[in-house]
Homo-oligomer: A and B are copies of this chain.
Amino acid sequence: MKVITISREFGSGGRELGKRLADLLGYAYYDKEIETEIARRMDMDPGYIARHIDQGAIVNVRLHFGRTIAADDLLKQQIDILVEKQRLLRELASASNCVIVGRAADSILEEYRPFNLFVYADMEHRVKRCQKYGKEGEDLSESGLEKAIKKIDSKRSEYRKMFTGKGWGNMEDYHLCVNTTGLEIKEIVPHIAGYAENWLK
């Protein structure tokens, strides 16, 4: 099966790019679906899974709690979720061609020889994108968003480090790095799809 993984800076349009790429190529698309499915299998709340897995919570637990019973239980639970996640990613990659956004899939699925894409953009562009797609009630001020973007990126970086021992956003870990500053995602997707298909053939 052919696998495309997408790592992305928050606000760079990586998710839209992944979705459009999957639609164009006829691949399955996995993003939040992953937490939903883990939650279903483990009979847990998807939001809890997302918060505690994709936000680098394990690291925080290790730093902030001593070796108390409660912390150990939490850690055990989180490891179970991680193991389930790795199993699920491998199942998905074996089942059909797919695009997977985030979740350190490039590293977890290394043996599937995925095409690994990194999507980035300058801060001004990312703030504007967040303002465009932000929800009512969120802090959509420039400074508020810049702070939020940096925080999310830093958590993604921590998460990747935890899984892979590698830094985040290092060119050499990816096959193609795309700067979306000032671009319409839908216009660049056909070229990236062609590139990825050639790479995966």
Q: A residues engaging B (CB < 8 A)?
A: 118, 120, 122, 169, 171-172, 174-179, 181, 183, 187-188, 190-192, 194-195, 198-199
Contact = CB atoms under 8 A, between A and B. Distances in A.
A171 B169 contact: yes
B198 A188 contact: yes
A72 to B, nearest CB: 40
Given A171-B171, A191-B192, A191-B194, 17 more contacts: A118-B171, A169-B171, A171-B177, A171-B179, A172-B179, A175-B179, A175-B181, A176-B176, A176-B177, A176-B178, A183-B199, A187-B198, A188-B199, A190-B194, A191-B191, A192-B195, A194-B194
Contacts of A176: 176-179
